[in-house]
Amino acid sequence: MNKNVAVILSGCGVYDGAEIHESVITLLRLDQRGAKVQCFAPNVAQLHVVDHYSGDEMDETRNVLVESARIARGKIKDVKELHVADFDALIMPGGFGVAKNLSDFAISGANCTVQPDVLSATQAFVKAGKPVGLMCIAPALATKIFGSGVICTIGNDHDTAAALVQMGAQHHECEVSEIVEDAERKLVTTPAYMVAQSISEAASGINKLVDRVLELSHPA
């Protein structure tokens, strides 16, 4: 296939970074489909650090790029180095890091802003007409990236969906094994662990998202 795909991570761990299962499933599916992958993350401090065993907040600081490097086995770059001309598509796994480190959605909700380097990188794909895949909570950034009217899903969480609608999105409820596509904007979304009760359930939708994003990356 020889497609080049950029993957933006938000740390390492569901409660304060990227959702590890979603990230690994994404990377695995891309590799299975013959795509070449480069991971990116912003070189900024995490909002906070959560003990994933106890669920308690920890009194320490960690860097989003350094933590994301754990998932990427060290093969990662600062998102400032993401040049859209080098890639055919972009995918962003979920995890609270998207809402805490790539944006402040976890704090500000519908009034959120996106980390400037991440916003610049993602909007470059929109301007270039290249496909984007967002999963789990990542579609919360869709209106900031694509503008009002964008079609997306976070599954069936009514409060989160209401925030997206308030921001200007058209939210479609979606089963974990399905995807929602905004054909005009070349955006593909799936709920993943916003709905999934197992890693297999998460994979069912993520694999479809990856496959569709790769299909959309072919010239019309």
Q: Domain ranges for the chain, please list them.
A: 4-216
Query: At 166, which amino acid appears?
Result: Q
Give Cα separations from 192 to 78, 95, 139 (angstroms).
Answer: 26, 10, 11
Give Cα separations from 208 to 6, 32, 130 (angstroms).
Answer: 17, 13, 18
Q: Are 193 and 26 in contact (CB under 8 A)?
A: no
Residue carrying the six token digits 């993350």 = 41
SS3 at position 69: helix
Q: Are 11 and 101 in contact (CB under 8 A)?
A: yes
Among 118, 111, 108, 110, CA closest to 44:
118
Burial class of residue 199, CB neighbours in 10 A (0-12, 13-18, 19+): middle
Q: Which of 12, 39, 112, 136 is catalytic?
A: 136
Residue carrying the six token digits 């106890």 = 54
SS3 at position 143: helix
pTM for the full model?
A: 0.97
Q: Are 39 and 23 in contact (CB under 8 A)?
A: no
Among 185, 71, 95, CA closest to 133:
185
Q: How far apart are alpha carbons 113 and 2 in whole angstroms?
A: 34
Q: What is the mean pLDDT of each run of 10 residues along the chain (220 residues)?
A: 93 97 98 97 96 94 98 98 98 98 97 98 98 98 97 96 97 97 98 98 98 88
Structure tokens at 141: 């950034």
Is 136 a catalytic site residue?
Answer: yes
Q: Are 123 and 39 in contact (CB under 8 A)?
A: no
Neighbours of 184 (CB within 10 A): 10
pLDDT of residue 220: 53
Q: Are 213 and 188 in contact (CB under 8 A)?
A: yes
Q: Does domain 4-216 have CATH number 3.40.390.10?
A: no
pLDDT of residue 95: 97
